[in-house]
Amino acid sequence: MKTSTMRVIVAVVLVVVALGAVWILLQERSGAPAAVTETPATGTRQVYVVGGGATFINPQMQKWIRDYMEETGGRVVVNYQSIGSGAGEAKWLEGALDFGVSDIAISKAGYEKLLASGKKFIQVPLVAGSVAIVYNLPEFAEAGCVLRLSGEVVADTYLGNIIKWSDPRIVELQEERCRGRLPDKEIFGVHRSDGSGTTALFTMYLTLVSREWAEKIGYGYTVTWPRDALGLGEGGRGNEGVSAKVQNTPYSIGYVETAYAIQLKLPVAALRNRDGYFVLPNETTVSEALKRAALELPGPHEFWGDLPLRHYMNREGRLSYPIVGTPVAFVYLDVPAETSRALYDFLKWVLTKGQMREHLVEGFLPLPEELRARALQYLESLVRT
Amino acid sequence: MRASTKRTADLFALNSLFNAVLILSVALVVAVLLLESLPMIYRDGIGPLVTSVWNPAREEYGFLFALGGTLVTASLALLLSLALSVGSAVMYAEFVPPSLRPVVRNLMDLAASMPSVIYGLWGLRVLSPFLRNHLMEPLSALGLSGILGTPSPAGTSLLSASILLAIMVTPFASAIIRERLLAVPQHVREALYSLGLTKPEVVLIELRYIRRSVLTAMAVSFSRAVGETAAVAMVVGNTVNPNFFRVFSPGYTISSLIADQYPNAEAYYYMAPALFYAALVMFAIGLAVNLALLRYGETR
Amino acid sequence: MRLPTSRAVKSTALTAAVALAFALSVAPILHLMATVVYRGATVVVRNFPSILFDIPAAPGDHQVGGIGPHILGTALLTSIAFAIGVPISLLAAVFTAEAIRRWERMVGRWTRLLVHMMLEFPTIVIGLAVYGVMASITPFVRAFVPGFRPFSLLSGVVALVLVAAPYMYLQIEDGLKSVPQHVREAIYSLGASRFVASLVLLRYLKSTVYAALSIALARMVSETAALFFTAFGSNVYPPLDTDSLFRPVGSLTLAVYTFGLSGYENWIELSWAASFMLLLLCLTLFGLTKLLLRGERRGLRGLR
């Protein structure tokens, strides 16, 4: 009796699944998923391009792709997967991807390989990125204070030279009324455990502002963290992991992409910029820093690997936020015309309409006008050749 | 009639083509692994096996922490699942009324075939926070954190990974043990009872009788635990933790290290070779443990 | 002789331990299934039926969209991998088990050893190796098939075959070896060729074969790590044409992993929905096997 009941249940499940499958197929036939799967009215073949790389830009990329395909009727189908900046570069070099995206552009090693292969390519920035320093200080939250930090202090904290929140070097940076509120507690330093462009940008900044950091640690997707060795720091996986750790650990400090800090509403520290002003990362301050780099942007096929270090970060101007970067897309020029046309079309949309508020995911910031103009100019070589 | 059998006679030898396909593909995988790890083996020899540094900026890679993490999580999972699977198999074979058996068996068999990534999602969102709040935090408060480490806010840790692995492999292991328990000849069982032994005592003797199968079950569990990637990567915490015996702290296993670091590995010269080297080492360990256990299990 | 009371205590303690072990191994599974059904079914029901064919919504959106490309990908990947993997492992197992001549036995031994080794690879490594091979042949293949890509349905299929074939192979081979000698002799005495005889043997082992195939299919459906750098993943429907085999596809397991680790509420919901569908899929496969095995011998036996 038991087995016969089983059999009936299984049969019912099967029938339901089968009916569901038929129904889906019928739905698709009738064109329910709208523009996405349909060939456009012009009758031209759909062009398919594959990209991959930086994890940070993935949410934004998925929104762009969705919106772009909806608007253009799916003439160009774009598949982007967040396989990591390093893999984005490597797999693009191996010819597995039509375009790669990296948080800090093509590495030195990759650039040498490219030069050796003699392939023509261009690089374009896609969106404004910045790294926010987030913290968890209950005393500050109560009093409505905003933490102020300088690059040297942040570097010394992660180096393990500054142990406690009440360190005079931190105290002296704060507003008068908040100084007394810094507790005599140890700072818990959170960082990314996985390799990431965010870490690369953050450590580039520390390299720029602290000689000791530059000598001992350097920059990269993954670095060693001296504070961990003191038992006063640990890693979190992804921007989400770092955010969660900071949120749940009182007296901690961490760094995340500004988009995540905004989305998760974490307290963000104001950072002292080159001109000595304390600025928070937002559209104005990030644009202010990036637009200054627009005119110095190297040619589309030059080495961009240390671009943030040399041109983006720690810029002059009282409103410039110091830790900024741009995820960079790279595409080959010598590919079938169909592919380069499709990539041109998609990237152009990203750099024009894609920068408008309705196409940006909360927390992502548009490129400043000046940088966008340069990027569009670079993009033209995709169709000119 | 005769003629047709003659004609098909040679077909059997053709089957060997499929053996060749399997052999060739395994050989290819091993070859890729060896080739890719060669630069690192050539550069550092056995250095990475005995050091715990992960400093790509200086191209220094020592994966002892991940090796240790793998061994610690797999062994803990093995011990836990030994207890759980033997216990539940005995429960099934000796205590569960026959009318309820199909329900239990179907449940366990279904659990054995469920995607590990579902276990991972559940481990990340449910198990890890639970373990943190109800096991690791109280124990740390008792002063064990000095020995076992401090739990992270999300509870992702080597311990969470071990427990999740134990939960995952138990249905497999217990299926093997249970079938063998049920296959213990009735006359043996009756002879034992006729000696006036109680049920648990009989069970203990039966377990000794089938200990080879228990070993097989353990071998299966161990290799599953060592090789599991997706679920472990979601709960192990992914932190370089040289003190890998501090199981309350987050750590790495080799497969989670690969899943976590490979995405950016190729921006460096030696990181990908180091990761492949790690895979090779783990493969060797898994194979050795497995063959030893199987060899022991097969000598009857 | 021990005292009866101490024996009674020991017996009770052992019984209690067994019951505890049983409870501890079943409770998490029940909780897991309940969680997946509760969290996943809510999302699926609320967004039914669009969740079955729509593409994922933008992150942070108040809608979830759907996981159509992932369902399609899982269907394609597993069905093709199954169709390729089954004959390979069945026939190779037959050859190994029924080997008589010296060279046959040697081939059989090597197959068995290497397949055992294969089981020891973490699946992510299998995926990386498949990618490595595919990427290195790409330049040559592109001369004939311009649309060839190393991130593709094809790579995913190869990876899945390599992941699942060892299970089928070992189980069926074990089954064949356990066939009583008199049965084998009876079959051969009918004068059948070795090929025909081995097919008859497989028929004789029907329940083992079904069980092996269903386990292999479940492994293919469940596999995640091997797909990272092979099938690659896809949140969009690729165009259907002659190049479809060489384009990346998504999978439900990749959806669970990537959306599950994201920080966006609506993507996490998608992750639960994908988990729920995977659970349903496994349940269906499982039920199907039981249906096929009705009246046959006990269900999933001899997992190794």
- Residue A282 tokens read as 């937002």
Question: Given pLDDT bands bounded at 50, 70 and 90, which one contains residue C301?
Answer: very low
Q: Identify the CATH number of the domain defined by range A3-128+332-384.
A: 3.40.190.10
Beta bridge partners of A254: A134
Residue C137: predicted pLDDT: 92
Q: Token pair of A350, please? A: 């990203």
pLDDT score, position C290: 81
Comparing CB atoms, the residue among C139, C236, C288 nearest residue A77 is: C236
**pLDDT tier, B57 (very low <50, low <70, confident <90, very high otherwise):** confident
CATH number for region A130-286: 3.40.190.10
Does B276 sit within 8 Å of C162, measured CB to CB? no
- CATH number assigned to the domain comprising residue B293: 1.10.3720.10
**What contacts C123, CB < 8 A, 6 or more positions away?**
B227, B229, C159, C163, C223, C224, C225, C226
Q: Kindly tell me if the per-residue pLDDT of B8 is higher than 60.
A: no
| 3-state SS assignment for residue A272 | strand
Task: Tell me the mean pLDDT in the region C30-56.
Answer: 94
Binned at pLDDT 50, 70 and 90, residue A321 comes out as very high
pLDDT at B297 over 70: no
User: How many structural domains are present in chain B?
Assistant: 1
Contacting subunits of B (3+ beta carbon pairs below 8 A): A, C
Contact C55 A36 (CB under 8 A): yes
Nearest to A193 among B56, B238, B265 (CB): B238
Name which of B57, B250, B267 is nearest A223 (Cβ-Cβ): B57
| Interchain CB distance below 8 Å, B57 and A224 | yes
The distance of A32 to chain C (nearest Cα, Å) reads 9
| Widest distance between CA atoms in chain C | 84
Q: Do A11 and C291 touch (CB under 8 A)?
A: yes
Contacting partners of chain A (3+ CB pairs under 8 A): B, C
Inter-chain Cβ pairs, chain A and chain B, closer than 8 A: 102
Q: How many CA atoms lie within 13 A of B16 on its CB side?
A: 16
Determine, for residues A222 and B261 on separate chains, whether the beta-carbon distance falls below 8 Å: yes
Q: Give the residue on A whose Cα is nearest the Cα of B260.
A: A194
- pLDDT computed for residue B299 by the predictor: 56
Task: Write down the pLDDT at residue C221.
Answer: 94
Q: Which domains does chain C have, with CATH numbers?
A: 50-303 (1.10.3720.10)
Positive or negative torsion for Cα C68, C70, C73, C77: negative
Determine the residue among C224, C227, C294, C297 to mutate to test chain B binding: the one whose Cβ has the most chain B Cβ atoms within 10 Å. Answer: C224
Q: What is the pLDDT of residue A1?
A: 42
Number of inter-chain CB pairs under 8 A, B vs C: 282
Q: Which of residues 212-231 of B touch C (CB under 8 A)?
A: 216, 220, 223, 226-230
Q: Please indicate whether, in this complex, the C-beta atoms of B87 and C278 are within 8 angstroms of each other.
A: no
Residues 64-83 of B with CB under 8 A from C: 83
Asked whether the predicted pLDDT for residue B278 surpasses 50, the reply is: yes
Test C232 with A14 for CB contact under 8 angstroms.
no
**Domain range enclosing B223:** 2-299
Angle at B141 (CA atoms; ends B139, B147), nearest 5 degrees: 60
pLDDT tens for each residue of C179-214: 888 888 888 888 878 888 888 888 888 888 988 898
Inter-chain CB proximity B266 and A218 less than 8 Å: no
**Of A3, A86, A236, Cβ closest to residue B266:** A86
Q: What is the distance in angstroms between the Cα of B55 and the nearest Cα belonging to chain C?
A: 22
Q: How far is A3 from chain B (nearest CA, A)?
A: 8
- Report pLDDT digits (tens) over C121-150: 888 889 999 999 999 999 999 999 888 999
Cβ distance C287 to A59 less than 8 Å, yes or no, reads no
**Portions of chain A given CATH number 3.40.190.10:** 3-128+332-384, 130-286
Residue among B115, B234, B108, B167 nearest C28 (CA): B167
Which of B15, B26, B111 is nearest residue C114 as measured by Cβ atoms? B26
Chain A partners of C60 at a C-beta cutoff of 8 Å? 59, 263, 361-362
List b or e across A354-375, with b for residues whose CB sees 16 or more CB atoms inside 10 angstroms. Answer: bbeeebbbebbbbbbebbbebb
Give the pairing of strands A324-325 and A233-236. unpaired
CB contact (8 A) between residue B152 and residue A234:
yes
Nearest to A46 among C239, C261, C290 (CB): C239
Beta strands in B31-149 (DSSP E): 54-55, 60-61
Assess B183–C contact: CB distance below 8 Å, yes or no. no
Q: pLDDT tens digits, residue range C215-227?
A: 899 899 999 999 9
